[in-house]
Amino acid sequence: MIDRNKAHTPSQCPCGTGLTYTACCGRYLEQAEIPDHAEALMRSRYTAYTLDRDDYLLATWHHSTRPAVLNHISGTPHKWLGLTVKRHEQPAPDRAIVEFFARSKVGGRAHRLHEISRFVHENGRWFYIDGDMI
């Protein structure tokens, strides 16, 4: 049985837009394009989490807050179940916030992450800075 959570090229993008992976976040994760707004970056980062793409997560994390490595929960992988974007606001040309819900299962237990993420636009690219858990 194929674990769609770990597939390299899922037919439908995990971020929930209803588009194919290639037409949606795949174009960013495969480095063919750069997200042109913070919501697209946030969705592509969610997709990167579902595909265990630490390289993409670190590359899109602002250098001022980026960890040296990502510390995933040892031995207990997340099974990502869905993403809902609640709002995307851009109060300045170089700043944005995205509020979202991400559902997952860890060790058979359901979890819901509710975060307001902050993004900055520098050198023609959006970067994740940090977020507040709600």
Over its C-alpha atoms, the chain yields an Rg (Å, rounded) of 14
pLDDT for res 6: 44
The number of angstroms, rounded, from the C-alpha of 25 to the middle of its chain's C-alpha atoms is: 9
pTM of structure = 0.87
pLDDT for res 75: 55
CB 117 within 8 A of CB 83: no
pLDDT for res 32: 86
**Range of 40's domain?**
4-133
Q: How many domains does the chain contain in total?
A: 1
CATH number of residue 64's parent domain: 3.10.450.50
List CB contacts of 77: < 8 A, sequence separation 6 or more: 106
**Run means of pLDDT, 10 residues per run, the chain, 134 residues:** 43 94 95 94 96 94 93 68 96 97 92 97 97 95
pLDDT for res 7: 44
pLDDT for res 125: 97
The number of angstroms, rounded, from the C-alpha of 83 to the middle of its chain's C-alpha atoms is: 9
Give the H or E element holding residue 57.
helix 54-59
Tokens of 111: 């979890």
CB 21 within 8 A of CB 12: yes
